[in-house]
Structure 1
Amino acid sequence: MNIIDLEKYPAPDLVIEVANSSLSDAQGEKLILYENIGVGEYWIVDVQNVQVIAFAVADRGSKQIQESLVLPELKISLLDEALQLSRNMNQRLVGAWLMEKFQQ
């Protein structure tokens, strides 16, 4: 594992965690870690429940959000819908569906 020098490089604006069996860790220790280093947003893709849980991080704390602040106007519900579609639809078709939604 490489360690990034946060004194030299800024924390990322967005971190996306895919959690299958590690949801409690993603909502616990990792959320606290990202709050402490100043990540802008933290999204958890909950594979078991087929949903995206998104947090805005500020002032060493976080709050759950329904719309991205890092990617303005991106509703988390749209990501949930795409994730649901990906269970039964070809990934290329889901990508095309998302692109159509973004252009609306």
Structure 2
Amino acid sequence: MVNSPAILTTIPTDTWVQANWEDFITFADDPTLTNGRFYYDQGYMRIEMLPIGSAHSQDNSIISTVVILYAAIKNIPIKELTNASFRKIGVRESQPDIAFYIGNNLIFPPRNNEPINLNELDPPSLVVEIAASSLEDDTTRKQKLYQRLGIKEYWVVDVRKTKIIAYNLAANQNTHLEKSQVLPELPINLVEQALHKSQTEDDGAITRWLLTKFSAN
């Protein structure tokens, strides 16, 4: 008996490939691809294998710390989701590094392991992609994907340059931000400063620095 080839040999990763929704779901639900992240938009899918480097994971952690701490100090209701899938059934799907529901009257997604159904629930307010090797795609096709999903604000973290490209997303246009709008008055350059500090300082020191900065405003 001849064994079937591994599923990864049947489709390239880290690029957009034409596919219908049913084909996409076949890959998204395949148990051999549990370490993958899945995107679908306008008849194309993209599978990314999860990065394992410390730069990506450190920046991911610092962004999470900054956002949650700022919201806590400013008394802004917030719910963070890491590597969650957001699905508009039959149309599009994304699995960002981090997503945040922000603001009053939060409705938490159901506590299960199913993709979050955007046919029934609102999309998150803020989505963050940590771009260790996917910067071009994160700032082009994914930016359009999140715009179509109804995300209000989108950050792309350029790991190599320690920079953040922040967008305000509207239905027909997007604009670059110097301050967050979903986290009012949070300067994007302060978030970048925290990323820079994380290269030489421990998380406790960065948190204490952030507390000083946020409490002073």
Q: Smaller-chain TM-score range? A: over 0.9
Contact 1:50 1:83 (C-alpha < 8 Å) held by counterparts: yes
1:98 aligns with 2:210: yes
User: Aligned-pair distance for 1:20?
Assistant: 0.6
Aligned to 2:145: 33
1:66 aligns with 2:178: yes
User: Aligned-pair distance for 1:52?
Assistant: 1.2
Matches within 5 A, 1:1-104: 1=28, 2=85, 3=87, 4-104=116-216
- Cα distance in 1 for partners of 2:172, 2:147 equals 5
Contact 1:38 1:60 (C-alpha < 8 Å) held by counterparts: no
**What is the CA RMSD across the aligned residues, in angstroms?**
1.2
- Cα distance in 1 for partners of 2:165, 2:208 equals 23
Structure 1: which 5+ residue stretches go unaligned?
Answer: none
Contact 1:36 1:60 (C-alpha < 8 Å) held by counterparts: no
Structure number with bigger Rg: 2
Aligned-pair identity in percent equals 38
Higher relative contact order (CA 8 A, sep 6+): 1
User: Aligned-pair distance for 1:83?
Assistant: 0.7
Structure 2: which 5+ residue stretches go unaligned?
Answer: 1-27, 29-84, 88-115
Letter in 2 for 1:67: K
Q: How many residues align?
A: 104
1:12-57 Cα distance to aligned partner (Å, 9 max, x none): 1000111111101110111010011110100111110001111011
